[in-house]
Amino acid sequence: MDLTLCYAPMACSLVAYVNLTEAGAPFTVRTVNTGAREQKSAEYLAVNPKGKVPVLVVDGYPLTENVAIQQFIARSFPAAKLLPAGFDEFKAISLMSWFTSTIHPHLTPNARPENYCDMPEAFDGVKRVAQKLLFEDLKIAEGLLEGREWFFDHFTAVDSYFFWCFRRAVQFKLDLSAFPNCLAHMARMRERPSVQKVEAYEKEVMAQFAKAA
């Protein structure tokens, strides 16, 4: 199987990078310079008309949307146990759907308030409301992680996805001290070689993009 991941530094394509690495899957990376709007180029739109990362191109066929991509990786490489078994599998899909449909949209206004309101003087308010909603989400995640290392009884794709969400909140310099379980989860994730690999790679790609600018 030929796998190519369309990946941008800082973006949620990190999740698939981590999961492919955890699965020991051979894959190549196509970097996408979102700062230079490469995701809106005609060439990229031919791969993903939504103009977003991630895309996992499987034997030439593009698969979009994190929830589908993580399930594809988990089912293609079952030995990695990236999804839990039994009813928990559906709970894992439920959590990843929540990250995509709710947590991610509560993060993005911090970076792009202009996509939510066309009055620049209201941007601070847009961010404030998004942060309030995000903190409600994180309170739930904090409870789910109480007394646990991972969301399920072992590391799964849900952990990789939540790591990206929480790291994004950290990058927006929000005060996250009310979420010690989430902070501990992030620290645990950073002990994993897959996460160390993607964060080192991310730095490299960002340096290449900065040089090219």
Ligand X SMILES: N[C@@H](CCC(=O)N[C@@H](CS)C(=O)NCC(=O)O)C(=O)O
Q: Nearest distance from residue 59's CB to ligand X, in Å?
A: 20
Output 23 or 32, the one with its CB closest to ligand X. 32
Residue 18 vs 53, nearer CB to ligand X: 53
Distance CA 143, CA 121 (A): 36
Of the pair 148, 203, the CB lying nearest ligand X is at 203
CB of 140 to ligand X, least distance (A): 19
> Minimum CB separation from ligand X for residue 35, in Å?
10
Least distance from ligand X to the Cβ atom of residue 71, Å: 12
Q: How many helices (H) and strands (E) does the chain have?
A: 9, 4
In the complex with ligand X, the residue whose CB is nearer, 13 or 21, is 13
In the DSSP assignment, the letter for residue 35 is: G
Interatomic CA distance for residues 35 and 63, integer angstroms: 23
Q: Which residues pair with 3 in a beta bridge?
A: 58
Count Cβ atoms within 10 A of the Cβ of residue 93 and give its class: 0-12 exposed, 13-18 middle, 19 or more buried: middle
Rounded CA-CA distance 162/189 in Å is 10
CB 2 within 8 A of CB 58: yes
Shortest CB 65 distance to ligand X, Å? 5
Residues that bind ligand X (CB under 6 A): 11-12, 34, 39, 51-54, 65-66, 100
Shorter beta-carbon distance to ligand X: residue 44 or 179: 44
